[in-house]
Structure 1
Amino acid sequence: MKNPLLFFCCLIPILLPARADTTVIVATKLMGSRFVFTAVHGNADSALAAINAGITEVARVEALISTWQPGSEASAVNRAAGIAPVQLSEETFGLIRRCLRVAELTGGAFDPTFAAYDGLWRFDGSMSAPPSDSAIQQRLPLAGWQKVQCDTARHTVFLPLYGMKLGFGAIGKGYAAERAKAVMVQAGIRSGIVNAGGDLLCWGDDPEVAGGGWNIAIANPRQREKAMAWVRVKNQAIVTSGNYEKFFDWQGRRYAHILDPRTGHPAEGVLSTTVICPNAELADALATALFVLGPTDGLALIGQLNGVEGIVITALEEIKISDNLQLQWE
């Protein structure tokens, strides 16, 4: 289905005061992003304690997989590239294995070895021109999920080429949101939201929503207080990837931060993608893959996955939606 583009697609939770329960909201910075934790509970102190447990859990995950932290397991794997396998915890090893499965599923549109291009492209405001084609070609052999060697018996991971790297920027916040939810649920939070830098994981019910679930607004990033549509979610994640937050313009062309790992160049033809599915880790990875694949191939992939829906806003300013997604338009 196509609709004229009225707004970009980004996601904001609409939270209203609860009647029977208390809704507690805490915002903090984790994993280089703004995290917002929402907990609905009959006791505010219990809700706050659960949120604090969720924050602690995200910090723990960050210490495992952040390539910005020299002591992380991810950094250890990258330092040993071309040298030796690295034995990992079951948790980190499992995450890497799941990354490789999604990479295979998406034909490499999602690929944790995209980190080989680190430093070549910079989207922090310091880049005045794109890298040369020759510089990109030199990095291409260092990317490719098929090269990653995993030993399931020893829980080791080996990057066989010096300069290869793993990065979790396209899946890490989704995984962290899942872990935060798990500890919050264990602490007694039956309804809540973890907003991991725009990656939303919602469970249970907003007490103010008739019929259960949470109403999530799809908003215009130019006028974020205005919604163009709503989607009702329950026990689902909603993740958006877009080209309007991290980018630079050069000679009339926009270069966004989402790279196609197969080419080393920024993906083009799409303004934003949104994926809705029961798991935030998977939604995070698929939102990136959908952006790279584009509307035709991307939505064809989404259509083959049970319980997964997607939205693509193209560079031609069209909104394309997967077959079973129901939105309430403003």
Structure 2
Amino acid sequence: MRSLFTISFILLSLTYGFSQQIFKSQTTQMGSVFEFVLVENDSIQAQQYFQLVKDEIERIENLISEWRPHTQISQINQNAGIRPVQVDREVFELTHRAIHYSQLTDGAFDISIAALDKIWLFDGSMEQLPADDVIRSSVQHVGYQHIILDNVNSTIFLKKKGMKIGFGSIGKGYAADKGKELLQSLGVVGGIVNASGDLAVWGTQPDRKPWKIGIRNPFKGYKMIKVLKLRDGAVTTSGSNEKFAEIGDKRYSHIINPKTGWPSTGLTSVTVSGSSAEFANFLSTSIMVLGKRKGKKLLKEFPDYKAIIVKDR
């Protein structure tokens, strides 16, 4: 999704004089650029870890992508209004958490917003706004209340035909968390999994200094709003500066209000930091929809998470 503030790594410390070094690798997965940064002793071991974490991201995409026809999420969408679909426990639990996020925000966050993917296009091809009646009709297919979970049988059922679910809002954050979890389990002492601006970090640089994550100013890309020093945690950004539709000299955010079907307004971006990239993803997306006042009220419920909110000009 994403990220309005290009979150950049500011690796100020030199690695000379330390047995461990920083190794980097980059790939395109889940429709986005992933960057991996690891602290390791040798390049051969680092390359093995890079392949393992890339395989993990591929595994996740094959579970939750709504664009790949063979995935369980695609099967759920194809059977909307027809029958429940049995899914892996991992998919079930991720969907269960997503519904909980909807409940926390009274529907400002809603994975069934995927039903609107044919109404708004943010690839530069839109030349006119969708008709009001088309938007009103599309919203009829949105509603987390109609996602039915069967815990005993591990099934997911979309009650209404035309419904769809998708994890564009938290999927990359989830992938970052899982990539970090895997690498830590393998004994990697420090690193960063950056899912196109949604990132999870742990450990330190070779000189034992924390990772420095720079948050760029969306209006002045050459400036930093803030530099975060992290040893363990996550940072995600939701915003409208990189993915939008421009119609009639007005810019429309790709982040849609699930209740109205219209792009969110008032905020240019929201960056959230905390322990989980998935949860930070949920918060940054929700605050974009809720606006500054209601967004800050939501954030107060989770004091371990902090936000940098930038209003529209």
Scaled by the length of structure 2, the TM-score of the pair is 0.94
Letter in 2 for 1:215: K
Tell me if 1:292 matches 2:294: no
Distance 2:218 2:48 in 1: 32
Q: What does 1:186-225 align with in structure 2 at a 5 Å threshold?
A: 186-208=185-207, 210=209, 213-221=210-218, 224-225=221-222
Task: Kindly provide the CA deviation profile for residues 115-166 of structure 1, in whole angstroms up to 9, marking residues without a partner as x.
Answer: 1111100001111111111001111121111111000000000001100000
AA aligned to 1:39 is: L
Quick check: 2:22–2:206 contact (8 Å CA) kept in 1? no
How far is 1:306 from its partner?
Answer: 3.2
The alpha carbon displacement at 1:230 in A equals 0.9
Letter in 1 for 2:56: E
1:142 alignment partner, SS class: coil
Q: 1:208, CA displacement in angstroms?
A: 4.2
Q: Deviations over 1:173-215 (max 9, x none)?
A: 01111111111112221110001011011111123464xx211
Report what 1:12 is aligned to.
Answer: 8
The correspondence of residues 1-330 of structure 1 with structure 2, limited to 5 A, is: 9-16=5-12, 17-19=14-16, 20=18, 21-208=20-207, 210=209, 213-221=210-218, 224-316=221-313
| Distance of 2:115 and 2:95 partners within structure 1 | 16
Of all paired residues, the percent bearing the same amino acid is: 38
Give, in angstroms, the shift of residue 29 of structure 1: 0.2
- Give, in angstroms, the shift of residue 225 of structure 1: 5.0
Structure 1: unaligned runs, 5 residues or longer: 1-7, 317-330
Instruction: Please list every run of 5 or more consecutive structure 2 residues that lacks an aligned counterpart in the other structure.
Output: none
Which deviates the most, 258-267 or 15-24? 15-24
Whole-Å separation in 1 of the counterparts to 2:281 and 2:225: 22
Between 151-160 and 224-233, the greater mean CA deviation after superposition: 224-233
- AA aligned to 1:92 is V
Counterpart CA distance in 1 for 2:37 and 2:289 is 31
Q: Distance in 2 between matches of 1:226 and 1:255?
A: 24
Cα shift at 1:105: 1.0
**Equivalent-residue separation in structure 2 for 1:262 and 1:188 (angstroms):** 45
Distance (whole Å) between structure 2 residues aligned to residue 121 and residue 228 of structure 1? 31
Query: 2 CA distance for matches of 1:267 and 1:223?
Result: 22
CA offset at residue 239 of structure 1?
A: 0.3
User: 1:47–1:189: 8 Å Cα contact kept in structure 2?
Assistant: no
The residue number in structure 2 matching 1:320 is none
Equivalent position amino acid for 2:138 in 1: R
Q: In structure 1, how many angstroms separate the alpha carbons of the residues matched to 2:49 and 2:309?
A: 35
Instruction: Identify the range of structure 1 (138-147 vs 219-228) with the bigger mean alpha-carbon deviation.
Output: 219-228
Of stretches 142-151 and 46-55 in structure 1, the one that deviates more from structure 2 is 46-55
Structure 2 CA distance for aligned equivalents of residues 304 and 178 of structure 1: 22
1:12–1:209 distance in 2 versus 1, CA, 3 Å: farther
CA shift for structure 1 position 222: 6.1
Contact 1:53-1:180 within 8 A present in 2 as well: no
Q: Is the deviation greater in 154-163 or in 241-250?
A: 241-250
Q: Contact 2:80–2:159 (CA<8 Å) still a contact in 1?
A: yes
Normalising to structure 1: TM-score of the pair? Answer: 0.89
How much does 1:113 deviate? Answer: 0.4
Distance in 2 between the 1:229 and 1:258 partners?
24
Letter in 2 for 1:251: G
Structure 1 stretch 133-142 or stretch 16-25: which is displaced more?
16-25
Distance 1:117 1:150 in 2: 22
User: Aligned partners of 2:208 and 2:62: how far apart in 1?
Assistant: 37
Offset from partner CA, 1:71-122 (integer Å, 9 cap, x none): 0000000000000000000111111001111111122111100011111000
- Give the 3 Å change call, closer, same or farther, for CA 224–42 of structure 1 in structure 2: farther
d(CA) in 1 for partners of 2:128, 2:207: 49
Aligned residues: CA RMSD: 1.5
Deviation at 1:223, TM superposition (A): 5.6
Please state how far the C-alpha of 1:224 moved relative to its aligned partner: 4.2
